[in-house]
Amino acid sequence: MSWPDTWRKRLNYILLGPIIIPLWLTLPDVRKETKRRWFAISFIGSICWIAFFSYLMVWWASLTGQTAGIPNEVMGLTFLAAGTSIPDLITSVLVARKGFGDMAVSSSIGSNIFDVAMGLPLPWFLATMLFGPVQVNSAGMACSILLLFLMLIFVIASIACFKWRMNTKLAGVMFILYFVFITLSLLLEYEIIRCNAILKPFTG
């Protein structure tokens, strides 16, 4: 927490101060030998801070979307999705540089499964216990879920086509798949493509 010696580091220090200083004041630094026994408090406290910052992020993103005339669903699909995936990106880059590409891929898949299996049901469960049933409004929700499963199949097929090796060509394919997914999801959300028309052959 000492004052940096270069202007670039000082700028980062000031910008990150509102986040770093509360963490420094409330969480024991378990890297020190004398505070390693407080690891449980640091772990639980970190989760609480993540929940607090996540609440602020969703709240501010919602206000920004309302000001710009962007629906909450679109904000969640684009800006919030990208923002919450930055930690996964950083950890994936770090482990990939150490030669653990399998860990990077499994981390990205596992984190999304955790989001769907725990990140959504837990707050919905708590909200239901306090306020009653939670209603989810999204024009293309069913088709988006179907599209998500199809994207998963395409991702696995793409990795298999490149013989399970991560390279620049596979990265290019992943970028293309992502932009295709975003484009189709936005078309569904704005009802340019009707979800009912797509599901009609399957539902009869």
Asked whether residue 51 is domain-assigned, the answer is yes
Asked whether residue 35 is domain-assigned, the answer is yes
Asked whether residue 38 is domain-assigned, the answer is yes
pTM to 2 decimals? 0.68
Asked whether residue 165 is domain-assigned, the answer is no
Asked whether residue 132 is domain-assigned, the answer is no
3-state SS of the chain is: CCCCCCHHHHHHHHHHHHHHHHHHHHCCCCCCHHHHHHHHHHHHHHHHHHHHHHHHHHHHHHHHHHHHCCCHHHHHHHHHHHHHHHHHHHHHHHHHHCCCHHHHHHHHHHHHHHHHHHHCHHHHHHHHHHHCCCCCCCCCHHHHHHHHHHHHHHHHHHHHHCCCCCCHHHHHHHHHHHHHHHHHHHHHHCCCCCHHHHHHHHHC
Asked whether residue 172 is domain-assigned, the answer is no
> What is the mean pLDDT, run by run of 10 residues, along the chain of 204 residues?
84 89 90 88 90 88 89 83 80 83 78 79 86 72 78 86 85 90 82 71 55
pLDDT at 200: 64
Asked whether residue 130 is domain-assigned, the answer is no
Range(s) of the domain holding residue 40: 1-69
pLDDT at 94: 85
| Number of separate domains in the chain | 1
